[in-house]
Structure 1
């Protein structure tokens, strides 16, 4: 292992992880508010029970990246539940704490979510959206095989500033 590198373990989050998850989620919303559709103000009032219920869902899978038992990154994979859309999943809420970026943690999280989507019977595609100006994130998604299929102009509004989102898809079949 290279100097400065730590072993990264990735696993599904469980109800016991709710408090730690909420902390990293709030950190994400403070550090990268334009990258998420939720705001810090909205999420800070979420109860831990909300996350506990989500972590037990049959259709929502939140993965955590741990270094020395510290949660340093997260990503969520959600399967569509409508009959005509259950062949689709969505990746959202990717975040790696700022001091752990550049070590491949985001890539490991996305690969884990993609592998999990592949394991779900009937899933044929994975969708996600990314802020157009987020070149690092876009490069990661392109490198992993996602392709763009549209731009949502002014999708996110933060104060008086608008951000466009690029929609991407990975076909599994």
Structure 2
């Protein structure tokens, strides 16, 4: 399967917003915010545009047949003593394209951005029960350095999160 992976711009906000809504509805345990929280005030598109314009963050997207099918954000720490690292956030690939190389293409874009920013470390959090995602991150060399019990709670259900790091 071939496609294009690139940095998203504010012009991509409608596609990005649509995929974000899908991600929040499809995998509520994978994100700290809920679908209801993100769309409640009616300015969901504005929030998406702000994320895409953030100067310390880059969002990458993968497209197939002009459709956005995966995203990931890399957020560089802005305070001086932490500028050597960044967080990977909001990683999502639509179900139809999982296992097709989209996730790998997105991670390669993150690694390229890490080189541009001269980063030494990438960090992320993943729900402990998500074996597929954990195996994916392990395949790049990420290692778990901690677990937060009951890190997320929604509708009476708790999820633990594993914190992972990769030294570049």
- TM-score, normalised relative to structure 1: 0.91
Between 112-121 and 30-39, the greater mean CA deviation after superposition = 112-121
Give the 4+ runs in structure 1 shifted more than 4 A. Answer: none
Alignment of 1:51 with 2:33, yes or no, is no
Q: 1:61 to 1:139 in 2, by over 3 A?
A: same
Unaligned runs of 5+ in 2: none
Equivalent runs, 1:23-172 vs 2, <5 Å: 23-44=18-39, 45-121=42-118, 123-172=119-168
Q: Return the alpha-carbon distance in structure 2 between the equivalents of residues 46 and 165 of structure 1.
A: 29
On the 8 A contact 2:62/2:102 being kept in 1, the answer is yes
- TM-score, normalised relative to structure 2: 0.94
- Could you tell me which residue of structure 2 aligns to residue 21 of structure 1? 16
C-alpha RMSD over aligned residues: 1.2
Unaligned runs of 5+ in 1: none
Q: Secondary structure at the match of 1:106?
A: helix
Report the count of equivalent residues: 166
Q: Return the alpha-carbon distance in structure 2 between the equivalents of residues 159 and 28 of structure 1.
A: 18
Q: Secondary structure at the match of 1:127?
A: strand
